[in-house]
Structure 1
């Protein structure tokens, strides 16, 4: 387990949003890299996502 010291004050909403935005940017970048490295897997994932969207009922 990681030893993290508890913070004296809880993080603000702005800090949390900034960390989340950074995480989402890095995740998107990693996804693009995987798509370039394994185009067949990326195509299959797109097809699965399209099927999910077609079968989703609003």
Structure 2
């Protein structure tokens, strides 16, 4: 028994591929920026801790 999928119209297929490509691009940007965000968050926590201790 072969699996068959209903054929999508070309416009719908094109839009679907475009959306998937945009999602993949957004995911790549988030992964690339993640280390910087983590570093920034660690610095903020360190600064807040030092302010509490010094204050």
TM-score, normalization by structure 1: 0.49
Task: Report SS of the residue matched to 2:14.
Answer: helix
- Which is greater in Rg? 2
Query: How many residues get paired?
Result: 33
Quote the offset at 1:7 in angstroms: 6.0
RCO greater where, 1 or 2, for CA within 8 Å and sep 6 or more? 1
* TM-score normalized by the length of structure 2: 0.51
Question: What is the distance in 2 between the residues matched to 1:35 and 1:26?
Answer: 14
Runs of 4+ with >2 A deviation: none
State the superposition RMSD in angstroms. 1.6
Q: Which has the higher helix share?
A: 2
User: Any gaps of 5 or more consecutive residues in structure 1?
Assistant: 1-5, 40-58
| Secondary structure at the counterpart of residue 38 of structure 1 | helix
Structure 2 unaligned spans of 5+: 37-55
